[in-house]
């Protein structure tokens, strides 16, 4: 039974974001749990986080990449609702209650969108916007979804659906190498899998702010190709699963078919 007053856990991946954390963390609303997942920062990100929020839970991710960071954070969640929150200042903390309200109203997954009515962005370039539109349209065509902003990472969901994401095990250490789903493709991977699982997705208008300090680790072309591969792989996986279901439904040699 899902709570009408859910406990909220924030999962914040961090890699050298000390200057941003000084501004972002004090602006957060009071929530049940804040988990900072550190990618072995070489600045004082962890020290700044502990100073700003003494109760913050700090986790060191087991491999590299945003996907692995999120998976490590999800493994530590104790709340009813999980919010994926970026540390660079682009996500508006005041939108968190709207995400939670959308879930309480019946959604399994609250999908932030910069391109639905009420949303917007100060940060997205024309190239990224065009790439997002292409990937978005391709996904909607193949998976019969109605996403308006496939690649946006500000999302929230009930913690009980985490197993449906099927993310790579966090127990595999750095020596195992990067796994599929460890990088920026993770958001596309999650969106595809929850859609194919038939979960209730509701878009939430969201405004993306400019990154405050530093530069993004996102590579438009490289990560765009990885996202395209995610879409094709998930479509293929779904098609093969559907074929197996159809084959199981066919009458076997010992099956009597009523006429």
Q: The tokens of 242 are what?
A: 């559907």
pLDDT in tens, 99-118: 999 999 999 999 999 999 99
Task: Report the CATH number of the 8-248 domain.
Answer: 3.90.550.10
Least confident of 88-92, 138-142, 220-224: 220-224
pLDDT at res. 257: 39
Decide: residue 19, CB within 10 A, 0-12 exposed, 13-18 middle, 19+ buried.
Answer: middle
CA distances from 91 to 102, 202, 205 (A): 17, 18, 12
Decide: residue 53, CB within 10 A, 0-12 exposed, 13-18 middle, 19+ buried.
Answer: middle
Tell me the backbone φ, ψ of residue 178, rounded to 5 degrees.
-70, 135
Using 50, 70 and 90 to split pLDDT, how confident is the model at 256? very low
Give the position of tokens 């990618």.
39
pLDDT at 243 over 70: no
CA distances from 95 to 20, 59, 179 (A): 18, 25, 32
Question: What 3-state DSSP class applies to 13?
Answer: strand
Decide which of 111 and 226 is more confident: 111
pLDDT in tens, 43-72: 999 999 999 999 999 999 999 999 999 999
Where exactly are the structural domains of the chain?
A: 8-248
Residue 119, C-beta contacts closer than 8 angstroms, at least 6 positions apart: 112, 113, 149, 205, 206, 207
pLDDT in tens, 173-183: 888 888 989 99
- The rounded mean pLDDT for the chain is 90
pLDDT at res. 211: 92
Quote the CA–CA distance of 118 and 15 in Å, as a whole number: 30
């Amino acid at each position: 039974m899902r709570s009408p007053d859910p406990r909220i856990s924030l999962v914040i991946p961090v890699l050298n974001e000390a200057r941003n954390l000084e501004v972002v963390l004090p602006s957060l609303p009071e929530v049940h749990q804040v988990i900072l997942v550190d990618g072995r920062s070489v600045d004082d990100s962890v020290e700044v986080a502990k100073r700003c929020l003494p109760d913050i839970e700090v986790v060191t991710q087991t491999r590299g990449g945003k996907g692995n960071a999120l998976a490590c954070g999800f493994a530590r969640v104790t709340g009813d609702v999980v919010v994926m929150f970026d540390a660079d200042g682009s996500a508006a903390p005041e939108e968190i209650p709207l995400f939670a309200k959308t879930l309480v109203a019946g959604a399994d997954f609250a999908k932030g969108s910069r391109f639905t009515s009420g949303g917007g962005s100060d940060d997205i370039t024309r190239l990224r916007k065009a790439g997002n539109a292409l990937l978005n349209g391709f996904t909607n065509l193949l998976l019969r979804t109605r996403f308006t902003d496939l690649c946006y990472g500000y999302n929230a969901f009930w913690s009980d659906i985490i197993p449906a994401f099927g993310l790579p095990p966090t127990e595999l250490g750095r020596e195992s190498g990067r796994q599929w789903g460890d990088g920026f493709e993770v958001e596309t991977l999650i969106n595809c899998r929850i859609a194919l699982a038939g979960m209730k997705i509701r878009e939430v208008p969201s405004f993306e702010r400019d990154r405050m300090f530093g530069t993004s680790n996102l590579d438009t072309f490289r990560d765009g190709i990885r996202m395209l591969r995610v879409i094709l792989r998930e479509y293929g996986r779904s098609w093969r699963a559907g074929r197996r279901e159809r084959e199981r439904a066919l009458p076997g040699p010992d099956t009597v078919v009523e006429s």
